Amino acid sequence: MRIVSGMQPSGRLHLGNYLGALANWKALQDDHECFFFVADWHALSTNYEETSHLRTYVRELLIDWLASGINPERATIFIQSHVPEHAVLHVLLSMITPISWLERNPTYKEQQDHIERCDLSTHGFLGYPVLQAADILLYKAEAVPVGKDQLPHLELTREIARRFNSLYAPVLVEPRALLTEFPKVTGTDGRKMSKSYGNAIHLSDTEPVVRHKLKTMVTDPARVRRHDPGNPEICPVFTFHKIYSNATVVDQINQECRTAKIGCIACKQFVADSIVAQLSPIWDARRSLEANPKRLDDVTQAGRARAARVVTHTLEEVRHAMKL
């Protein structure tokens, strides 16, 4: 299968992003032809006023990907703005996309209500899904690995492709969503791990930072004193154990928490050890990438060239179908 997916560069990735999207990408790259890109133009749709961090975020994201094992020998890795054909197809698709399709997009309404730091009544923000459709349709991708929140965008992509094909010629491929199933990752405060809640553990955190965040993490609130028995099922520390510790440790914690045999401090130390063990190789890889900035440029240059070959071909067909 040919697969395309993108991520916005909006800061450092955390464990939730890793388990949610990256782990899935890593598995897909072994068996499929994958195109993974940094959606820097999409980031502008909600951050067009303050762009001074954008370059750093793009690099940080690429470092997180490569350090996590996204392999440029298997997958094509590139930056959206390096492949201007995305903008060309966006313009052409925008001509055939009714505004009503975009206005009824749930993400559009929701984000307009929730994001207050900038005025989202822009053409670019309304057209966000058209750009995303162009990202996908240019590669004739059959599948797009995304989270649930992206399903409306995928549906719009299919509708736009259908409209194009029926107006002109059957050139574009309707992609399907590959829904990423992943464990629900809680943050250090027990809510869903999210950049905006400040409760995340980042791939780029150092070992002392990770240990500190775990040490101060909330536990079963009913377990006030050391000899109170706890309930691991409602404790966010235990959700980390289930993800990161081996089965023996998980069983042991499960029993010893309920009988107050183990204290929360020791329990958190165990989970810190498990997480540190898993992140260590990522930290090593991050360090060597940071020491070698040229490596990132080489990867994205090669990716841009590979992407260009595919999109040039699609755009030729599109122009021909539209009689341009």
- In the complex, the residues that contact ligand SF4 under the rule CB under 6 A are 219-220, 223, 230, 232, 235, 237-238, 253, 257, 262, 264, 267-268
CB of residue 42 to ligand TRP, shortest distance in Å: 5
Tell me: does residue 144 bind ligand TRP (CB under 6 A). Answer: yes
Residue with tokens 């399903």: 151
Residue 39 site contact among ligand TRP, ligand SF4, none (CB < 5 to 8 Å, cut-off depends on kind): ligand TRP
How many chain residues are in contact with ligand TRP, going by CB under 6 A?
14
Q: How far is CA 59 from CA 23, 29, 127, 316, in A?
A: 19, 21, 26, 31
- Residue 267's binding partner out of ligand TRP, ligand SF4, none, with CB under 5 to 8 Å set by partner kind: ligand SF4
Q: Does 24 bind ligand TRP (CB under 6 A)?
A: no
81 or 186, CB closer to ligand SF4?
Answer: 186
Beta strands in the chain (DSSP E): 2-7, 33-38, 76-79, 143-146, 176-179
Specify the stretch interacting with ligand TRP by CB under 6 A; choose among 3-11, 225-233, 255-263, 311-319: 3-11
Choose from ligand SF4, ligand TRP, none: what does 245 bind? Cβ within 5-8 Å by kind. none
Cβ atoms of residues 133 and 113 within 8 Å = no
Q: Is residue 3 near ligand TRP by the rule CB under 6 A?
A: no
Question: Is residue 10 a contact residue for ligand TRP (CB under 6 A)?
Answer: no
Question: Residue type at 76?
Answer: T
Considering only 150, 180, 219, 314, the residue that binds ligand TRP (CB under 6 A) is 150
Provide, rounded to whole angstroms, the least separation between the CB of residue 266 and ligand SF4. Answer: 8
Which amino acid is it at 195?
K
Task: Report in angstroms the alpha-carbon separations of 215 from 212, 237, 276, 316.
Answer: 5, 10, 13, 57
Residues 6+ apart with CB under 8 A from 289: 63, 66, 67, 295, 296
Binds ligand TRP by CB under 6 A, chosen from 3, 4, 15, 70: 4
Nearer to ligand TRP among residue 8 and residue 188 (C-beta) = 8
Q: What minimum distance in Å lies between the beta carbon of 208 and ligand TRP?
A: 31
Q: Which residues contact 268 (CB under 8 A, 6 or more apart)?
A: 214, 215, 217, 219, 237
CA separation for the pair 54, 61 (Å, rounded):
10
Euclidean distance between CA atoms 320 and 67, whole angstroms: 41
Please choose which of ligand TRP, ligand SF4, none residue 135 contacts, taking the beta carbon within 5 to 8 angstroms, the exact cut-off set by kind: ligand TRP
According to the binding rule CB under 6 A, does residue 137 interact with ligand TRP? no
Instruction: Report the alpha-carbon distance of residue 295 to residue 218 in Å, rounded.
Output: 40
* Region from 94-102, 142-150, 235-243, 244-252 binding ligand TRP, contact rule CB under 6 A: 142-150
Site for ligand TRP in 37-66 (CB under 6 A): 39, 42
The smaller minimum CB distance to ligand SF4, of residues 107 and 254, is found at 254
Partner residues linked to 33 by β-bridges: 2
| Closest CB 236 distance from ligand SF4, rounded Å | 8
* DSSP per position, 210-234: HHHHHHT----TT--STTS---GGG
Instruction: Find tokens 């989202």 and name the residue.
Output: 120
Q: Using CB under 6 A as the criterion, which residues of the chain lie in contact with ligand TRP when the complex forms?
A: 4-8, 39, 42, 132, 135-136, 144, 146, 150, 153
